[in-house]
Amino acid sequence: MRTIRLLNLTSIGYLLIFGLLTAGFYSAFFFIVQKAVAESTDEALYNRKQRILTEITKNGDKLPNDAFHFTDFRLSKVPINCRAKDMLSDTAIYEKGEEDSYDFKKLTSIVQIGGKKYRLEIVVPQMEKEAIVSSITKTISLVLVLMVFTFVIATLFFSRALWRPFHRTLSKLDEFQVEGKEKLEIGASWIAEFDKLNRSITHLTLRARGTFENQKQFIENASHELQTPLSINQYKLEQLIDDPDLTHTQSGIVQSLIDSNQRMTRLNKILLLLAKIENGQFPENESVNIKALTADIIKRFEDIQTALGISVDISNTEENQLLGNKMLIDLLLSNLIKNAFVHNIAGGKIIIVIRKNCFSISNSSNGAEIPSDKLFERFYKSSNRTESWGLGLALALRVCRLNGWEIHYSYANRMHSFQVGFS
């Protein structure tokens, strides 16, 4: 699944809210400024009218005769019965020699001077809409850029600092192994949520490990307890076959009992071995020569090799001294080699390649590819051989895991291959 970082998601959210807020703020600001400008223009017009009238009254109702002396108002005579309210309007005036027009606000009112009525028209230049828009845009953009910048920097800084304990917990958790011995040490955090998380995780891992330990202990104890009854069975059966009075039929039955008892004994031994590997009861490490060990193990299978006429190719080898527990390395390699012999065909072949950091073994077979996810599971059987339990590869996997090695299965040209990577 595609994932997104929490930080990115919250940042996107915040930036969206910022954007919306800025847009709202922008329009509100625009209307308020526009209204304020309009009001102050109107007020200026009325003030001007008052001053003109006061000036005229002071001059004894004498009209200013020079028409061009004042460019912001004009008086024109109207009939005496004319009456009208003051009227505000927008007008555009072209200046001489210029293409563009300028916006003006005009106050038209009917005034009475010395018994006569005049139409007084006053104009003031009006602040243009574009000018307002542009100055508001400039201001707001600057604020926005500053805010976003500060926000991003702050978020990066805070999140790095705030999430540090969380990431520390995560990396500790990644390293944690239920089957391992090391305790999970994540300690306390001064952030309440993380502290709670840490405590929950510690608790959980302790419980998981407890359950795991119990299970391991259970298998080990059960296996040990089984040894005695299995021994008794075996001793009694061996006593029985030594009895000269035994009939042919009876010895047949005794033989089947010996066989199945031996199977139980072996199964029990393997379960015990699995439990011991998981309990880390093979701590002694030594330097093991993989090439020599491999040759030694192959010798153990010379009977089956001769019987089936299997050719074994171990020519492609490098010297490999591996540090590990010899018994476990023997267990790993002998299980892989045994499989290669047992699941082979008459006249088949086995190819072993030993490199400095890997061991690979391939064998010819009649079988098809085995689903590799199940292959290493306990009690998984790819064939119907009743004498196999499907524990060999589970053991091999345990040994690899214990040492931090990798084991892979592949299938090509009717050859099953296993690779062990020592690292």
Among 90, 248, 384, 404, which residue sits at the site for other proteins (rule: CB under 8 A)? 248
Smallest separation, CB 231 to other proteins (Å): 4
Smallest separation, CB 224 to other proteins (Å): 6
Among 69, 387, 404, 413, which residue sits at the site for other proteins (rule: CB under 8 A)? 387
**Between 3 and 386, whose beta carbon lies closer to other proteins?**
386
230 binds other proteins (CB under 8 A): yes
> Given the rule CB under 8 A, which of 2-10, 11-19, 187-195, 298-306 is the region that contacts other proteins?
298-306
Task: Let me know: does 328 contact 399? Beta carbons within 8 Å.
Answer: yes
**Between 254 and 375, whose beta carbon lies closer to other proteins?**
254
- Write down how long the chain is: 423
CA–CA separation, 377 and 390 (whole Å):
8
221 binds other proteins (CB under 8 A): no
**Between 165 and 392, whose beta carbon lies closer to other proteins?**
392
Smallest separation, CB 157 to other proteins (Å): 56
CA 290 to chain centre: 40
222 binds other proteins (CB under 8 A): no
Among 204, 307, 323, 368, which residue sits at the site for other proteins (rule: CB under 8 A)? 307
Among 21, 204, 232, 368, which residue sits at the site for other proteins (rule: CB under 8 A)? 232
Encoded one letter per residue, x for contact with other proteins by CB under 8 A and - for no contact, window 60-99 reads: ----------------------------------------
282 binds other proteins (CB under 8 A): yes
The footprint of other proteins on this chain (CB under 8 A) covers a number of residues equal to 43
CA–CA separation, 347 and 312 (whole Å):
11
Encoded one letter per residue, x for contact with other proteins by CB under 8 A and - for no contact, window 182-201 reads: --------------------
> Given the rule CB under 8 A, which of 176-184, 208-216, 384-392, 404-412 is the region that contacts other proteins?
384-392
**Between 205 and 325, whose beta carbon lies closer to other proteins?**
325
Reading the block at residue 327, the tokens are 């018994």
Among 303, 315, 379, 413, which residue sits at the site for other proteins (rule: CB under 8 A)? 303
**Between 159 and 233, whose beta carbon lies closer to other proteins?**
233
262 binds other proteins (CB under 8 A): yes
Indicate the Cα dihedral angle 151, 155, 158, 161, nearest 10°. Answer: -150
Smallest separation, CB 219 to other proteins (Å): 14
Smallest separation, CB 174 to other proteins (Å): 33
Angle 406-409-411 from CA coordinates, rounded to 5°: 155
Reading the block at residue 113, the tokens are 């001077």
Please report, as ranges, the residues that interact with other proteins according to CB under 8 A: 224, 227-228, 230-236, 238-239, 241-242, 246, 248, 251-252, 254-255, 258-259, 262-263, 265-266, 269, 272, 281-282, 284, 300-301, 303-304, 307, 327, 334, 338, 342, 385, 387-388
